[in-house]
Amino acid sequence: MAYLDITSKTASIMLNTDGTDNPDQLVGVAAAELFEWAWLIGELACWLEDADEHTRADFDRFFGGYRTADKTAWFAAHIAERIAALLDGDRGQP
């Protein structure tokens, strides 16, 4: 990936993809932000798990049968658990 020559420091941080070819590259994320991600993903999982028939129909129409609402809710719940476990020092293993 190429480095974008952008004069704005904020835009440069957000848009540069330097190093994205290495999936093992470490990146810094504030623990509070990581916790917010886990919370948001967990809330989404709960909402999706209890979604009414209209929401499920919208979901199915949007994803075209690629993934069901229940499978996505299950997957999102596991992601939230793993992120939260990182903050507990469990190395992401629920």
- Sequence-distant (6+) residues with CB within 8 A of 59 are 48, 51, 69, 72
Q: Decide if 10 is inside a domain.
A: no
Closest CA to 77 of 48, 36, 34: 48
Q: Could you say which DSSP state residue 46 is in?
A: H
Q: What is the pLDDT of residue 1?
A: 40
Domain that holds residue 58: 28-87
Question: Per-residue pLDDT tens for 53-89?
Answer: 999 999 998 888 788 999 999 999 999 988 888 777 6
Q: Decide if 17 is inside a domain.
A: no
Instruction: Name which residue leads in pLDDT, 49 or 35.
Output: 49
Q: What is the pLDDT of residue 30?
A: 78
Domain count, the chain: 1
User: In angstroms, rounded to a whole number, what is the distance separating the alpha carbons of residues 12 and 29?
Assistant: 17
Q: Decide if 68 is inside a domain.
A: yes
5-9, 20-24, 59-63, 70-74: segment of lowest average pLDDT:
5-9
Q: Decide if 69 is inside a domain.
A: yes
Residue 91 has pLDDT above 80, yes or no: no
